Amino acid sequence: MAYTKDAVERLFARPFFDLLFEAHATHRQHFDPSDIQISTLLSIKTGGCPEDCGYCPQSRRHHTTVADEALLSVEEVVAAARRAKANGAGRFCMGAAWRGPKERDLARVTEMIAAIRGLGLETCATLGLLREGQAEQLAEAGLDYYNHNLDTSREFYGEVIQTRTYDDRIETLERVRKAGLKVCCGGIVGMGETRSDRAALIAQLASLDPPPESVPINLLVRVPGTPLGDAPSLEPLEFVRTIAVARLCLPTSRVRMAAGREGMSEELQALCYFAGANSVFAGDVLLTTPNPAVAADRALFAKLGLNAACAD
């Protein structure tokens, strides 16, 4: 079902408990409500990115403590994937801080993908903008998912990023789909955008044909030295509303709580799971920002009766 921005805004405006009830009912129609999918995210190339994304500590344009590091070896990445699998992850995601991969880097990444698939894990990569033919190379290596977030609404996008356009992102998503890969695509909330912007982002995600199989909803982690390091905090229940609206508009997608969980209470996370979130990133670090410890996640899942799913 296609949603307009106005229709999504009307969902956001519904009474809180009515919205959660409908989102939870929709969630139950398409998923086992006790099931949660676990992914692990590793930065395989950290820092030194030429882009100017206002939220990102890896941009070389910002003054943060993140250093420019070389691309990890295949052996280092496979070792990390083994640890992730031992901790219950069913999907292993790799992120690289660059505008897009050079061919020599892509060759090493395809080796990583093949090796990780050999461990029995699903694979996902977020490598920036893809040129013609690169998505096909990733597909041939066995990549399952490609992550490329829209981040926010088209209208607010220019307030956050200047070095790549919204249409650049849409073009990469089209190349990913053309290559037969599954899509992981979501956004970041709490960057100073309005509810209308959040509605426009979800409407755009729902209008993708087909919609993304995975939809990460990130809560901004405010990093000193970035342009958004002092952005105002998003009201917690507004984040829950965002999860619920995403579930209603994307009923068959995995809705993932991604960055920002480290600062959330157990009660807030529980509301998000009830509202339809059924995927998380596990591990102490997400690229360069903190994440709840694996033991803390396991303890909360046990309290809520949630069962980790190894793969979709």
CA 262 vs CA 44, 115, 155, 218, 300: distances in Å:
22, 30, 29, 11, 13
Residue 305 region, left (φ>0) first, then alpha (ψ -120 to 50), else beta?
left
CA 75 to chain CA mean position, Å: 25
CA 224 to chain CA mean position, Å: 22
Q: Which residues are catalytic?
A: 49, 53, 56, 93, 124, 184, 256
CA 134 to chain CA mean position, Å: 21
Q: Name residue 241's amino acid.
A: R
Query: If you search the block for the tokens 């992550």, which residue do you land on?
Result: 147
CA-based R_g, the chain, Å: 18
- For residue 65, how many other CB atoms are within 10 A of its CB? 10
